[in-house]
Amino acid sequence: MNKSYTIFLTIALLAIIALGFYIFSIDTSNNEEVPQDKEALIRVFEPIQNAVISSPLIITGEARGNWYFEASFPVRVEDANGNVLGQHYATAQGEWMTEDFVPFKTELSFDSSQTQTGVLILEKDNPSGLSENADELRIPIRFNSASSSERTVKLYYYNSSQDEDENGNIMCSKQGLVAVERDIPVTQTPIQDTVRLLLKGEITEAETAQGITTEYPLIGFEPEGASLANGILTLGFSDPNNSSSGGSCRAGILWFQIEETAKQFDGVYEVYFQPEELFQP
């Protein structure tokens, strides 16, 4: 009797253990998310993983049509600390309303990094904002600090000895403008950065010895933004003390220095100032 009871308990215990494993396996299989292979959704041809990159970065590849929305999706570069250095959109190079792969391409400019490594993130466009529709591909990258940290720009100052007529009179013209070179950090706002540097009026002793001068900086004269459209660059400034005025010759030379400095950049053909009262005689 005792032997039969022991066998019964053993069988019952084994049955309970087996049932527990069965229930656990069902729960696990129901809750486990099987990660989708990103290669089946998006493929990047360049840059490759751990590539050494510099700004601007050319990005090419192909993605399924549902990775896009209105023929584009966001891309960005982050440093190792998660700081966004630059962001843009990759654009479909064909009809995107399909389930097939569609080629994409973009050129992304980004700021210099304080870390040696970072990540390129290609994000599935998600107009719904729902987390279940979100997805992204992360590609580890390395930064080429030597080529991406700085760029050389020209600042236009003035040398009156180069702006004289045949009688030795100062003409107050662009003929007296002289370009000096400076290195600045690579950013997404090179025009504004260069104009700000010009307005500091920091001329070296060697340049001063050559006769190069400027009245910058002007008291209270500060940049307030820029916009470029159809070749026309509009620069905004704050000038509460009317420091940019004071005679047609002076105002004109101050104007010319900013104008020529801005025109060195591709796509800038005309330069306007806001408010229009700036640089008046």
Residue whose pair of structure tokens reads 């990540």 in the numeric block: 119
Distance in Å from the first CA to the final CA of the chain: 119
What does the DSSP 8-state code read for residue 69? B
Indicate whether 199 pLDDT > 90.
yes
Cβ–Cβ under 8 Å, residues 148 and 141? no
Query: What whole-number distance in Å separates Cα of residue 84 and Cα of residue 82?
Result: 6
Q: Give the domains, in start order, of the chain with CATH numbers.
A: 38-147 (2.60.40.2550), 149-274 (no CATH)
Residue 11 has pLDDT above 90, yes or no: no
Q: Is the pTM of this model over 0.95?
A: no
Tokens (6 digits) for 250: 């002076």
Say what percent of the chain tops pLDDT 70. 85
Burial of residue 1, with CB atoms counted within 10 A of its CB: 0-12 exposed, 13-18 middle, 19 or more buried:
exposed
User: Which pLDDT value is given to residue 151?
Assistant: 83
Sort strands 222-229 and 117-123 into parallel, antiparallel or unpaired: unpaired
Q: Binning pLDDT at 50, 70 and 90, where does residue 220 land?
A: very high
Measured between alpha carbons, how far is 242 from 221 in angstroms, rounded to an integer? 8
Residue 85 pairs in a beta bridge with: none
- Maximum Cα–Cα distance across the chain: 134
The confidence score (pLDDT) of residue 114 equals 83
Residue 100 has pLDDT above 70, yes or no: yes
Query: For the chain, percent helix, then strand, then coil, each to nearest 5?
Result: 30, 35, 35
128-173 pLDDT, tens digit each: 889 999 999 999 999 886 544 678 999 999 999 999 999 999 999 9
Look at 16 and 181; give whichever has higher pLDDT: 181
Q: Distance (Å, rounded) from C-alpha 64 to C-alpha 44? A: 12
Q: What pLDDT, on a 0 to 100 scale, did the predictor assign at position 241?
A: 95
